[in-house]
Chain A
Amino acid sequence: MGIEANAGQGGGTAEDGWQFWVDRGGTFTDIVARRPDGRLVTHKLLSENPTRYRDAAVAGIRALLTGDETGTGPIPAAEVDAVRMGTTVATNALLERKGERTALVITRGFADAPRIGYQNRPRIFDRHIVLPELLHERVIEVDERITAEGTVLLPPDLDRLAADLKTAYDDGIRAVAVVCVHSHLHPDHERAIGEVAGRLGFTQVSLSSEVSPLMKLVPRGDTAVVDAYLSPVLRRYVQWVAEEMSGVRLMFMQSNGGLTEAGHFRGKDAILSGPAGGIVGMVHLSRLAGFDHVIGFDMGGTSTDVSHYAGEYERVFDTQMAGVRLRAPMLDIHTVAAGGGSILHFDGSRYRVGPDSAGAHPGPACYRNGGPLTVTDAT
């Protein structure tokens, strides 16, 4: 990638207004703004501060434009050229299991495939084996089968499926993930099922053959479920921000390190939305300083992200996060639960750091909210 010295045309829009670059993280929200005169200014505020504002990104932008982060009323769109944002909204929904109520539709015989996975246990010496909580709350098995070569052994029984989906809809479920065996090569059954779900009024339908069209049922199925579970949460957030800044061009950072228009932002691509911006910035500035072999070290409030760069962005295609297998291109960022907010313990014979974190609320002891002792406090 080239580094250019002057700001000019970009993204096809006139650049005579403000640009806001926002990192809405777990503890802090950081904003860098490019003012109309080209100077860069920054603003930092707590991501959660419910007594002062509803959303840190909007409040911060408001503060930079008007000097008051607690204000109300629309952001003056005419003055703003674009907002580019990385957000942990989806990551947090995943970690806290606060996504959309989701039903999984899967080939008969495989209802338990996401639960069983590859049948290994996460911690080999635990007698009480705790597997990650599933994201979907209901499974609907569908009678259908295609072989690896594409022979249809059994066409989908759409009437029976429609009845089951109707029940789920009546129970208030609005998101569906559809996973058929071998659909990455033979997607017809999934598409037919998706149409039925769409007709019944489901507002989110994630087909595994669209979300991750590659072999391996288990990660493809998990990816479809994650997408169905998180996309509505993202959509609500995006819509809400868009309303507050009506008319402003809004781009979001994806896990792969590239931006996308708000309307194209999907749950499966949002997990590393926050840290991805750091990698891009780290690479650009390290190269500006003449380095092309770089270890990125991003220590935040709840965790530390490390990355490796030796000439090109490194991506992984399979990853596991919060107990969920996810298959989507993502920057290769390794996260450890050691951040400024990691809680310090003494267990009788050894010192421990984390993995639990004081988060933004209450935060470390020094934040004046009655929090526990943390790395930040020791610092």
Chain B
Amino acid sequence: MLGRVQPAHFPHVFGPDGDQPLDAEVVRRRFAEQADAIAARTGDERSPEQVAEGYLRIAVLNMANAVKRISVQKGHDVTGYVLTTFGGAGGQHACAVADSLGIRTVLVPPMAGVLSALGMGMADTTAMREQSVEARLEPAVLPRLEEVAKALEEQARAELLDEGVPAERITVTRRVQLRYDGTDTPVPVELADLDTMVAAFEASHRRTYSFLMDRPLIAEAVSVEATGLTVQPDLSHLGDPGTLESQGPIDVVRLHSGGAWRDAPLHRRERLHPGEQVTGPAIIAEANATTVVDDGWRAHATPAGQLLVERVHDRAQDDVGTRADPVMLEIFNNLFMSIAEQMGARLESTAQSVNIKQRLDFSCALFDPDGNLIANAPHMPVHLGSMGTTVQEVIRRNAGTLRPGNVYAVNDPYHGGTHLPDVTVVTPVFDDTGERVLFYVASRGHHAEIGGLTPGSMPAHSSRVDEEGVLFDNWLLVDQGEFRETETLRLLTEAPYPSRNPSVNLADLRAQIAANAKGVEEVDKMIDHFGLDVVQAYMRHVQDNAEEAVRRVIDALDDGEYRYEMDSGAVISVRLSVDRASRSAVIDFTGTSPQLATNFNAPSSVATAAVLYVFRTLVADDIPLNDGCLKPLSLVIPPGSMLAPEYPAAVVAGNVETSQAVTGALYAAMGIQGEGAGTMNNVTFGNERHQYYETISSGSGAGDGFPGTSAVQTHMTNSRLTDPEVLEWRLPVLLEEYSIRRGSGGAGRWRGGDGGVRRIRFREPMTVSTLSGHRRVPPYGMAGGSPGGLGRNSVRRADGTVVPVAGCDSVDVGTGDVLVIETPGGGGYGPPDGA
């Protein structure tokens, strides 16, 4: 459409006989039709060329984001890299992709259109072998590693010899996968003496994760790679234009570039002589590929037949207006999300605790200067919807005293937090003058130990928030660039119920600071690229876009109400009133039980998070979750209720259990779908030597037109479960079963998902604690569907007797006892057939 592919210069392999050129006519007609359709629907009068250009811009951005994921996100600065482009379509977009990444050199190798095939001719032959060892790395284990490596090497060599590779062309690399005891991420090092391997491990670990740990090393596995070196093909004739004379462009074609049709020379690559230059805009065609040299770029042919394309003029800042543009809206949606994702990647790689690093119990997000959520990476819903409150608290409490380089930590449920394990780190992003805050970035991580009555900081029987651990109340974590380590350590260790593992808390807090720093860096880049006014305008546009999406949801909703009874008898009462004229809704929790003596109270931001989540799930579109979703909604949460408790009520279960119940109450009031989970089935067990925490999935609810799903994390959580072998390796337990609890989903035209059955046998005495729901009140069905099956907890003693365990309970178990957790099924939707 835009002249970047020229049918006359593209292989004629189309049509019934495989001999016709590309059909340009149908393409022009179809883009014209689409431009008309877009104008009819939106009034946006774009030419067919502009429509095509808009699509290309998005495709280029998607590709640039993919490059960032494998480079920038892993800490590589790519601006000094070369972008080597190949594949049939690569050359058409390479300059644009390079521009998006700040790369100034593009290499188009000879035969770029068929480089994958050429690579087959250059590849070596390999044979790889590996074997598990799982032994502590100490002098005594070295002979065994050597022995395993030798056996594997013999096998790998034999395979290559069998394939006809001469022995003298075989090289062998022998590696050991090392990891810190208790972690999940091995680092390969070459098999050598002990000191060399430890040094190599530490160097690599520090480079990747930026810290070392004081833990023994485990040799996880030995791997061997045998390589049969291939004799490289002779490419010397590829740059030789032979007898063909250089004659400059063979054609001048119309190329749509920078918003207008322009004449562009078209060269044949095989006629370019070494040293010959082509200044963009221009097209260089060859047998199996086309290279577009964009404006501001210049190509030259090298003696080896390579085409080197370099930026010769600095590019102007992207000229984007501040008016909402459907192309840029998509681009900014992706950009904002990509920033949050890059923060998450940084946090995952630098955090030290298993809970953040492996169960991925964290979230990262970007906020506007008022603390409104703009975009998040798809992390934990219960975090995302409640972090705005945290940021707003930081703004309110530090008005006038915010300084560049300051970073704050918050977990106090009565001052912007939700429950104590979730610690949020907030960093303001200032303008160049250091006077005005342009953005906030924040990361929330679940610290698996933050003090409190019991190890793991999820006490079943806390009655005051102080008993649940250490409180961060508007805590200045970094003071104008200085990490307040001493003060923070004192906070962690001098609380009434101090942290049992403050060094890991500090390490994770440092990782959260680093994640935020990544966010600041990316925001700055975005502002450099587009200009502050444009970025700020799109900050509003993406929220407006989300707001409109929610208003469309409201258009289709009716009034409704529901009294949701929890197992304890506490009630969450919700009434939804829809105002069609203003396309808004009121969600009123009046009638909800007063604050409880237990720890099932939830700060009001948890209810907000549940509302935000529920409405986001009703939007049948891929928008980032943001505060725009909340604009058409007003929430009424009665003060002093369990959804707006007062200090010092205990709250630790509010975030994990009550949050699920609020979600269930909302779906019920809307009549949308059967109840799914309504609990996180929290299980903690341990003794003086071992501690462990997990949440077990239930069945999800069925809705109009779809069944529930069995044994899957629902609604406010999505954390991972420990692998059975890792569980048994680390803890003296035996997993007897984790299966789908067939038949537990509610019947209906659409069946609810089945819950799960998890049986854990203990190999030494421990204490088990449970925090779980739907053990008394079943998960509701919807529209005539049946409720899901009740969950059930029990212990089968070694002697065969079965002892029931309550939903929230604590029980001592002995060797040979088996804990059986049966999680609830999801509610069905619609009357079952024949009913």
Check B93–A299 contact: CB distance below 8 A: yes
Q: Which of B58-112 contact A (CB under 8 A)?
A: 58-59, 62-63, 65-67, 69-71, 74, 76, 78, 80-90, 92-94, 97, 101, 103, 105, 107, 109-111
Q: Complex formed: what's the CA distance from A256 to B11 in Å? A: 32
Q: A259-B126, A306-B63, A368-B14 are in contact. Are A297 and B120 (CB under 8 A)?
A: no
Check A258–B113 contact: CB distance below 8 A: no
Q: Complex formed: what's the CA distance from A297 to B309 in Å? A: 14
Check A213–B132 contact: CB distance below 8 A: yes
Select from chain B the residue with minimum beta-carbon distance to A13.
B164
Interface size of B in residues (CB-CB distance below 8 Å): 165
Q: Complex formed: what's the CA distance from A280 to B233 in Å? A: 13
Check A213–B221 contact: CB distance below 8 A: yes
Neighbouring B residues of A199 by C-beta, 8 Å: none
Q: A148-B729, A301-B89, A378-B55 are in contact. Are A332 and B70 (CB under 8 A)?
A: yes
Select from chain B the residue with minimum beta-carbon distance to A29.
B117
- Tell me if B810 is interfacial: C-beta within 8 Å of chain A: no
B-binding segment of A95-103, A165-173, A224-232, A340-348: A340-348
Check A32–B114 contact: CB distance below 8 A: yes
Q: Complex formed: what's the CA distance from A118 to B727 in Å? A: 13
Which of B84, B126, B162, B228 counts the most chain A CB atoms within 10 A? B84
Check B120–A336 contact: CB distance below 8 A: no
**Residue in contact with B120 in the complex, picked from A84, A299, A332, A378, CB distance below 8 Å:** A84
Check B119–A278 contact: CB distance below 8 A: yes
Q: Which of B679-719 contact A (CB under 8 A)?
A: 696-697, 700, 703, 705-706, 708-714, 718-719
Contact with B along A340-379 (1 / 0, CB 8 A): 1010101111111110000000000111110001011111
Neighbouring B residues of A11 by C-beta, 8 Å: 125, 163-165, 228, 230
Q: Complex formed: what's the CA distance from A300 to B91 in Å? A: 11
Min CB gap A17→B, angstroms:
14
- Tell me if B237 is interfacial: C-beta within 8 Å of chain A: yes
**Residue in contact with B63 in the complex, picked from A46, A307, A336, A369, CB distance below 8 Å:** A336
Q: Complex formed: what's the CA distance from A5 to B238 in Å? A: 12
- Tell me if B54 is interfacial: C-beta within 8 Å of chain A: yes
Neighbouring A residues of B249 by C-beta, 8 Å: none
Check A277–B84 contact: CB distance below 8 A: no
Select from chain A the residue with minimum beta-carbon distance to B236.
A5
Q: A86-B116, A109-B759, A377-B27 are in contact. Are A299 and B90 (CB under 8 A)?
A: yes
Select from chain B the residue with minimum beta-carbon distance to A187.
B132
Check B66–A336 contact: CB distance below 8 A: yes
Neighbouring A residues of B708 by C-beta, 8 Å: 129
Q: Complex formed: what's the CA distance from A36 to B713 in Å? A: 60
Check B34–A329 contact: CB distance below 8 A: no
Neighbouring B residues of A340 by C-beta, 8 Å: 88-89
Q: Complex formed: what's the CA distance from A225 to B237 in Å? A: 46
- Tell me if A138 is interfacial: C-beta within 8 Å of chain B: no
- Tell me if A105 is interfacial: C-beta within 8 Å of chain B: no
Neighbouring A residues of B673 by C-beta, 8 Å: 127
- Tell me if B131 is interfacial: C-beta within 8 Å of chain A: yes
Contact with B along A293-310 (1 / 0, CB 8 A): 111111111001111101
Cβ-Cβ contact count across A and B, 8 Å cutoff:
481
Q: Complex formed: what's the CA distance from A10 to B160 in Å? A: 13
Min CB gap B50→A, angstroms:
11
- Tell me if B203 is interfacial: C-beta within 8 Å of chain A: no
Neighbouring B residues of A1 by C-beta, 8 Å: 124, 229
- Tell me if A264 is interfacial: C-beta within 8 Å of chain B: yes
Min CB gap A69→B, angstroms:
9
- Tell me if B118 is interfacial: C-beta within 8 Å of chain A: yes
A-binding segment of B17-25, B457-465, B472-480: B17-25
Check B728–A339 contact: CB distance below 8 A: no
Q: Complex formed: what's the CA distance from A124 to B717 in Å? A: 9
Q: Complex formed: what's the CA distance from A379 to B330 in Å? A: 19
Check B116–A349 contact: CB distance below 8 A: no
Check B20–A368 contact: CB distance below 8 A: yes
Check B56–A375 contact: CB distance below 8 A: yes
Min CB gap A354→B, angstroms:
8
- Tell me if B143 is interfacial: C-beta within 8 Å of chain A: no
Q: Complex formed: what's the CA distance from A123 to B709 in Å? A: 13
Neighbouring A residues of B672 by C-beta, 8 Å: 127
Check B59–A110 contact: CB distance below 8 A: no
Neighbouring B residues of A338 by C-beta, 8 Å: 59, 62-63, 66
Q: A42-B288, A301-B89 are in contact. Are A115 and B711 (CB under 8 A)?
A: yes
**Residue in contact with A351 in the complex, picked from B128, B326, B697, CB distance below 8 Å:** B326
Check B723–A9 contact: CB distance below 8 A: no
Check B728–A299 contact: CB distance below 8 A: no
Q: Complex formed: what's the CA distance from A218 to B124 in Å? A: 32
- Tell me if B199 is interfacial: C-beta within 8 Å of chain A: no
- Tell me if B381 is interfacial: C-beta within 8 Å of chain A: yes
Neighbouring B residues of A50 by C-beta, 8 Å: none
**Residue in contact with A259 in the complex, picked from B18, B123, B169, CB distance below 8 Å:** B123
Check B83–A304 contact: CB distance below 8 A: no
Min CB gap A263→B, angstroms:
9
Neighbouring A residues of B378 by C-beta, 8 Å: 123-125
- Tell me if A320 is interfacial: C-beta within 8 Å of chain B: no
Check B42–A280 contact: CB distance below 8 A: no
- Tell me if B537 is interfacial: C-beta within 8 Å of chain A: no
Check B70–A334 contact: CB distance below 8 A: yes
Q: Complex formed: what's the CA distance from A2 to B229 in Å? A: 9
Q: Complex formed: what's the CA distance from A284 to B703 in Å? A: 54
- Tell me if A134 is interfacial: C-beta within 8 Å of chain B: no
Min CB gap A217→B, angstroms:
5
Q: Which of B1-51 contact A (CB under 8 A)?
A: 1-2, 4-5, 7, 11, 13-16, 18, 20, 22-24, 26-27, 30-31, 34, 37-38, 41-42, 51
Check B26–A21 contact: CB distance below 8 A: no
Check A216–B27 contact: CB distance below 8 A: no
Min CB gap B499→A, angstroms:
27
Contact with B along A230-271 (1 / 0, CB 8 A): 000000000000000000010101101111110010000000
Q: A291-B82, A297-B67, A342-B59 are in contact. Are A350 and B123 (CB under 8 A)?
A: no
A-to-B contact residues, CB < 8 Å: 1-13, 19, 21-23, 25, 27-28, 30-32, 34, 38-40, 42, 44-46, 49, 51-52, 84-86, 108-113, 115-116, 118-121, 123-131, 145, 147-148, 153, 181-182, 184-185, 213-218, 249, 251, 253-254, 256-261, 264, 274-282, 284-286, 288-289, 291, 293-301, 304-308, 310, 329, 332, 334-336, 338-340, 342, 344, 346-354, 365-369, 373, 375-379
Additional A-B contact list (16), CB under 8 Å, known A40-B237, A184-B725: A44-B113, A84-B120, A112-B738, A260-B163, A277-B117, A294-B84, A297-B86, A297-B97, A334-B70, A340-B89, A351-B58, A366-B22, A368-B20, A375-B56, A375-B89, A378-B52
A sample of 20 cross-chain residue pairs with beta-carbon separation below 8 angstroms, ordered by A number, consists of A9-B166, A10-B230, A11-B165, A12-B166, A23-B114, A23-B120, A113-B724, A120-B719, A123-B378, A126-B617, A254-B126, A256-B126, A258-B227, A259-B124, A277-B118, A277-B123, A281-B119, A295-B101, A298-B116, A344-B55
The 5 closest A-B pairs by CB, nearest first: A258-B126, A281-B119, A10-B231, A109-B737, A277-B119
